[in-house]
Structure 1
Amino acid sequence: MTTRRHVLGLGAAVAAGSVLAPTPALADYTTRVDPARGYGRWQGWGASLSWWANVFGRDSTLADIFYTTRWVRYHGSVLPGLGLNVVRYNLGASMWQPAWPGGPRMVASPNLPAFRKMQGYWVNWLSSDPADPDSWNWSNDAEQRAMLRHAHTRGADVFQMFSVSPIWWMCRNHNPSGAADGGENLQDRYQRQHARYIATVARYARDHWGIRFDSVEPFNEPSRGGHKANGRAEGCYIGALPDRPVQQRIIHHLRDELDSRGLGDVAIAASDELSYRRAGYTWTNMATLNTRRLVGQVNTHGYQYDDDGPARSALYDNVRASGKRLWQSEYGEQYEHGLYLAYHVALDLRRLHPTAWCYWQPVDGQITDPATGHRLSWGLLKAVYSFDRTRKAGSLGEPDPYPGTDPYVANKYFVLAQYTRHIRPGMRIIDSGSRSTVAAYDALRRRLVLVTVRGNTPQRVTYDLSRFATVGNVVRRRVTDADPGYRIGRQYAAVPAVPVRGKRLAVDFSANSVQSIEIDNVRP
């Protein structure tokens, strides 16, 4: 999670240009798809529930949009449901009530709006018994839990709980946004209690909510150093020394606490660092206290915009050597056209090889870029949130959208649909031969899926399918235009089929577009 308004600057533009911009050598090109080179079973696509579900968690239409593949009516449009199946639940660190009547209260950042205060459950340190009503309040966080249930009833089947900060009273300054200087803020004596809190909620969710968390994550961007007492979100720095000893101790405690509650099947995910490079550094140093054996899954965020592949590949090689799963657990940026989104999905699945890919904030507001005057939108759907510190509120839509854009839906929603609706859980990601293309194979349906992003000139791409034993001739295509000029074009539009000729498929791409291609009756 990040509250910084990242800008894709010169480094990112250069990296994006190497994939998307035209060069004489890539005017038209052929790429060979290789089913013999695979990168594991695809678990799915997802998003975090905070902060949007803290306001809109009871909205069943949003649940249909995100967690089904139905066509859903939404403010005058009919949207193709994204079919997300991975849900990341934010275990809150904030609380409105005091530790006890007249007792100490949470110290809130003056810049922390109410909609970003994610409510926790453990009221005070007097009792760790979740049945004690004086120490636990299970009615908190009702809105986020409502969307959790909505997702579950609509078929979401991979659930992860993550902690952005220890609950407020475990923090040295009682402020879950961070220390004044951005340093360590978890009290030493509460390292095990932090682990106990996570494990207790995971057990309670299984027994009372009907939610089985597949994994739990005790940290969020723990070594970033930007979590401060005057911050705009919850956060906690945990990682002062090179070998991350506090992180490692908490992971050992968490494994013990999970096992003691009969949750041996729940994996620990770590450490959700800000970038691929930092994730690799942390994972390497997890070996010092024999901690990597306790981690079932490595999570990383994707805010390293200026990397063209090496850091992704290095992290993948490091994690693969340890035999662990790897997720890209959080990505976001502010360009609503979706071209950069497609570029990063393509690079992640080509170089990082995660088994799941998650967007950060699917419902978010807009800001204005002072350099260009463009409205910048982090969300897939647009919203306006109140920044009141005591009352959480928001409304869907943007009352003053940038000219040529939709007031409710960012174009990158449709770009993401090109991937999520076609590359489905259970498929196998295979080698596409190209950085611009993601290839996936559905063994049950004998279906090959190709999703390709094109840059700022038209291009013909020929897919060489000669390494498949048989290739059918049933081809379906969908296309979304991702115009950096913010002009609405085709949005997940069906386009005519093209024939497969001698195990070669030639497809014409218009500039700044993303196409999804499905071919049936394909056998490796």
Structure 2
Amino acid sequence: MIPSRSRRLRARPVTSSCRPSLPLLLLLLIASSSASHPPIPISEQLPPAPVPPAGHPPVILPVVDEPRSPRQPHVFGRQSTQSVRGKAGFAQSADAGEETAAPGRAGRALAASATAGANAGACDAEWMLLWPAQGCWRPPRIAGQGGSSTRVAPASSSARDTSAFRSASAKSAASAGLVKAQSAAPSGIVTAQSATPPPPPPADEGTPPPPPPTRPDEGDPGDGGSVPPGGNEARLEPANEIISVCRSGAPSTITIAPDWNGQTWRGWGTSLAWFANYVGKLPEEQFSLVMDLLFDKAKGIGLNLARYHIGGTFNASNSPQFLTAAWETRALPGFRPQPNGPYDWMADGRQRRTMLAALARNVDEVEAVSYSPPWWMTVSGDTAGAAEMNQCNLKPEFFRAYTEYQAAVIEHYRTHWNVTFSTMNPANEALEGWWLQGHRQEGCSFNPQELTTLINHLSATLKKRKLLTKVAGFDSFVGATLRFTYKFPAALKAGLLRLNVHGYVPPPSNTTDTRRYMEGVFVGMHRMATGLGKEVWVSEIGPMWVNGNDIGVTLFMARCIVQAVNIMGASAWIFWQSVNGVGTNPDLFLKWGLMAVRMYRLSDTESRPLDLVISKKLYMLQQFVRGAPRGSLPLRIDAADGCQHCITTFFNPDQHFVSVFIVNQHNVTHSATFQFEDFVRADGSKACAFEVFRTSATENNTMVSSQEYPDVPAFIQVDALGSSVTSVVLHNVDPT
């Protein structure tokens, strides 16, 4: 039984149950001819795979059988807001060391008058609004002079009662079943009653802001896309670019304080679109394998969010460019292919099959988005865009008809498939203005006035049809969202359910540049969303502008997660294309996807063996999904030591555990001590248990240590290996 005592929560949300690392069900049905790209090595400690059926033998990793917890109903919208004192990026007073929120209206980035000492300089509001906005960066402040000790979430002025965020059916961590480590001695873990932190490292120096990245090439993900001159590999960062716990070899003591700023974690997901259109035609065995890897909590990651693409089709006579090397087509079938014809509700069967299979597993929320109007509504007759950049491709007479088309699809899925989309976004990256006729993706540009008209029509149409689906905005890059959102009417912004942004970041060739971008536009996005009272979802993200080996790209994406949670205050994180086609550049076949398959242009009745290779990104994401399920509360990370760039932590009020994630992009081990002085045992009759998981070049979300203690340990010291993502999960705890 879980005691019903009331506790006070000062933190940020974390959701579902945290399981021990469940090995993924990897069925690699490999054709005898495809040996040039072997799958990730399988641990020699795993038991032998069962005897496969005749044909192409699968390699099966054992899974731990766990009961599925019942789904909790989801209440959309922001639950509450709280002061963001101490949040990353707030101006630091050079005299008193006080944290002050830079003034500024919603939709603007940082205020022009914010200062932070000699190295900080002033923030120019208009300069901040450039795409991508450069951000007013200032060197992180070193906390104190006696050591590199910091708190994850400084003490909040107002505590919160955790009982309001606990499910009535909350279960103790022990009910999930703890998996013990194979070896008795924990790896890289030391516990003690006291620790003396080392002296602080020198502060980072300020440097000029980076130039804005060029317009991203829409190169085929299967081909690896295009890389700026000189390349931007996901290389290991120089040790002197990160301070405190993020500095090479510098141990740090970090207090995990349950300070919550009001955000509730909604979950992890993927866009469907292109990959779903291919996977949806696979034979049942191959199809189920991919679905299990992505959406099943016991056999795979257990993603709970999905984004459905309402296609615009293409006019085959003048749009052949959608046929690419890696993808059969990037133009999804529309439901009304001809202007005077009826709706074809049998269209898009492949993506629908994928979506329904995801819903049958762990997905509990689906968004809808439309990239382009049907081709016959466009000016150019091409769903890739208009003849010129920044030109709207939707004919003026079809604005209302376009939203009627979107609403008709939403209503059809509700009445015929029992699928209710939580939100609908009528445009995708519309504010960037880069959609052009003859390119290889669907897209349509809108300026703020045109997009306002479109959203107003959509809202009215959804209301007229009595649909529950709400409107989200604006599915653009963070910089573009900051630049243009203030131009939208206040009533329109108030009517949005949430703000969806695309979390792509500039090239990581210079660590300081990337950090300044985060501390500029991400902080601006957080402030704007807080002012509007809206949640922020990272509705699309991938390793754009990044090249490198699989573990390098994986570490870069893990750091993007940490920064989105800590700095922007994101409530959800949705990957772009979870399955990537190999295409014509097999050396980069794992760059974009969580897994890669060699795709063939087959009819729906043809079949070939599935050549599938798993990326390290899949294991890394599984690590985050299980340590921070839906309903979790992200805890604040103090900006003082730069830890908000490499460490994030969550508290799960239902399952009573705290999880800490450390992303180490260096090639040397970091030592960090985490104190849990603000937590007590949730169930006094049970011990506290902690587990450590790691993804590295040789480990795939592997449990490297597990130990029980009669009470909450004073602290846990963790050695985060070089080039790894390490997570610590402490069970059976509640805030004091």
TM-score range, shorter chain: 0.7 to 0.9
Answering whether residue 295 of structure 2 is matched by residue 93 of structure 1, we say no
Name the CA distance, whole Å, in 1 between partners of 2:233 and 2:378.
Answer: 37
Equivalent position to 1:269, from 456, 463, 472 = 472
C-alpha distance in 2 between matches for 1:523 and 1:447: 7
Does the CA contact (< 8 Å) of 2:248 and 2:669 recur in 1? Answer: no
Q: Which residue of 2 aligns with 1:484?
A: none
Structure 2: how far apart are the matches of 1:416 and 1:222? Answer: 29
Q: Residue 28 of structure 1 aligns with which residue?
A: 251
1:302 corresponds to which letter in structure 2? Answer: G
Task: Please tell me the residue identity of whatever aligns with 1:286.
Answer: F
Query: TM-score scaled by structure 1?
Result: 0.83
> Aligned-pair distance for 1:233?
1.1
Asked whether the 8 Å contact 1:112–1:231 carries over to 2, the reply is no
Q: Secondary structure at the match of 1:496?
A: strand
Q: Which residue of 2 aligns with 1:40?
A: 263
In structure 2, the residue matched to 1:83 is 302
Unaligned runs of 5+ in 2: 1-215, 220-224, 282-286, 507-513
Which residue is 2:658 aligned to? 448
CA distance in 1 between counterparts of 2:606 and 2:450 reads 36
Counterpart for residue 78 of structure 1: none
Q: Given the alignment, which residue of 559, 569, 576 partners 1:353?
A: 569
1:316-327 pair list within 5 angstroms? 316-327=526-537
**What whole-Å deviation, never above 9, does each CA across 1:168-205 have from its counterpart, x for those lacking one?**
11101221011122322111111111111111111111
Contact 2:583 2:599 in 1 (8 A): no
Query: C-alpha distance in 2, partners of 1:447/1:61?
Result: 31
Q: Which amino acid aligns with 1:62?
A: V
Structure 1 pair 431–369 and aligned structure 2 pair: CA distance change class (3 A): farther
Q: Residue type matched to 2:575 in 1?
A: Y
Q: Is the 8 A contact 1:109 1:175 kept in 2?
A: no
Per the alignment, residue 129 of structure 1 pairs with none
Structure 1 stretch displaced more, 11-20 or 149-158: 11-20
What corresponds to 2:613 in structure 1?
Answer: 408
Task: Check conservation: 2:247, 2:670, Cα contact below 8 A.
Answer: no
Partners of 1:394 and 1:322 lie apart in 2 by: 51
1:259 paired residue among 453, 458, 463: 463
The answer as to whether partners of 2:245 and 2:671 remain within 8 angstroms in 1 is: no
**Identity percentage of aligned residues:** 24
For 1:123-272, what aligned pairs fall within 5 Å after superposition?
123-126=337-340, 134-182=341-389, 183-239=391-447, 244-263=448-467, 265-272=468-475
RMSD: 3.0
- Cα shift readout 1:335-394 (whole Å, capped 9, x = no counterpart): 532110111111111111111100001111357889xx7666211101234589x99999
**Kept after mapping to 2: 8 A contact 1:168/1:175:** yes
Shift in Å at residue 312 of structure 1?
0.8
**Alpha-carbon distance between aligned partners in 2 of 1:6 and 1:467, rounded to the nearest angstrom:** 48
* Structure 1 residues 189 and 136: alpha-carbon distance in aligned structure 2, compared to 1, 3 A threshold: same
Amino acid at match of 2:502: H
**In structure 2, do the counterparts of structure 1 residues 429 and 90 end up closer, same or farther at CA, with 3 Å as the change threshold?**
same
Where does residue 89 of structure 2 map in the other structure? none
What is aligned with 1:476?
691
Change (3 A) 1:444 1:325: same
Change (3 A) 1:108 1:422: same
State whether structure 2 residue 728 is matched by structure 1 residue 517: yes
* Structure-1 separation of matches of 2:567 and 2:584: 32
1:62 to 279, 284, 290: 290
1:420 lines up with 2:625 in the alignment: yes
Q: 3-state SS of the aligned residue for 1:309? A: helix
Change in CA separation of 1:216 and 1:30 when aligned onto 2, cut-off 3 Å: same
CA displacement at 1:53 relative to structure 2: 0.7
Native 8 Å contact 1:479 1:493 kept in 2 = yes
Which amino acid in the other structure matches residue 472 of structure 2?
A: A
Change (3 A) 1:395 1:232: farther
Is contact 2:681-2:688 (8 Å) kept? no
Give the counterpart of 2:274 among 36, 45, 51: 51
Over 3 Å counting, the alpha-carbon distance change for 1:361 and 1:87 in structure 2 is: same
Q: Which residue is equivalent to 1:380?
A: 594
Q: Between Structure 1 and Structure 2, which shows a larger proportion of strand residues?
A: 1
**Matching residue within 555, 559, 568 for 1:339:** 555
For the 8 Å contact 2:271–2:306, the answer to whether it is kept is: yes
In the TM superposition, residue 125 of structure 1 has moved relative to its aligned partner by: 3.8
Q: Distance in 2 between matches of 1:393 and 1:237?
A: 38
User: 1:503 matched to which residue of 2?
Assistant: 714
Alignment of 1:280 with 2:488, yes or no, is: no
Work out the CA distance in 1 between the residues paired with 2:496 and 2:362: 27
1:360 aligns to what SS in structure 2? strand
Residues 693 and 701 in structure 2, CA contact (< 8 A), matched pair in contact too: yes
Q: Which amino acid in structure 1 is aligned with residue 689 of structure 2?
A: V
Q: Show the counterpart of 1:401.
A: none
Q: Supply the distance in 2 between the matched residues of 1:474 and 1:37 (Cα, whole angstroms).
A: 23
Cα distance in 2, alignment partners of residues 322 and 392 from structure 1:
50
Do the aligned residues in 2 keep the contact of 1:383 with 1:394 (CA within 8 Å)? no
Alignment of 1:388-399 (within 5 A): none
Q: Which amino acid aligns with 2:656?
A: R
Between the aligned partners of 1:167 and 1:310, the Cα distance in structure 2 is 37
Q: Contact 1:32–1:432 (CA<8 Å) still a contact in 2?
A: no
8 Å Cα contact 2:502/2:540 also seen in 1: yes
Contact 1:385 1:394 in 2 (8 A): no
In 1: Cα distance, 2:441 partner to 2:396 partner: 23
What secondary structure sits across from 2:420 in the alignment?
A: coil
SS at 2:260 equivalent: strand
Q: Any idea what SS the aligned residue of 1:453 has?
A: strand
Q: What is the letter of the counterpart of residue 256 of structure 1? A: A
- With over 3 angstroms needed to count, the CA separation of the structure-2 counterparts of 1:348 and 1:24, relative to structure 1, is closer
**SS of residue matched to 2:415:** helix
Higher Cα Rg, which structure? 2
Q: Is the 8 A contact 2:384 2:436 kept in 1?
A: yes
TM-aligned CA deviation for residue 432 of structure 1: 4.0
Unpaired runs of 5+ residues, structure 1, are 72-80, 97-104, 127-133, 399-406, 482-487
Note the C-alpha offset of 1:329.
0.6
Measure how far apart 1:13 and its partner are.
6.7
Distance 1:479 1:20 in 2: 22
1:438 — aligned with what?
A: 648
8 Å CA contact 2:236–2:665 kept in 1: the answer is: no
Structure-1 separation of matches of 2:288 and 2:560: 30
> Relative to structure 2, which stretch is displaced further, 430-439 or 106-115?
106-115
Alignment length (residue pairs): 476
Counterpart amino acid of residue 189 in structure 1 = E
Residue type at the aligned position of 1:161? A
Question: Taking structure 1 as reference, are residues 479 and 361 closer, same or farther at Cα in structure 2, changes over 3 Å only?
Answer: same
Identify the structure with bigger relative contact order (alpha carbons < 8 Å, sequence gap 6+): 2
Letter matched to residue 276 of structure 1: V
What residue number does 2:540 align with?
Answer: 330
Q: Once the 2 structures are TM-superposed, how far is the Cα of residue 226 of structure 1 from its aligned partner? A: 2.2
- Residue type of the alignment partner of 1:115: T
Q: CA separation in 1, counterparts of 2:475 and 2:606? A: 28
**Equivalent position SS for 2:366:** strand
* 8 A Cα contact 1:47 1:358, kept in partner: yes
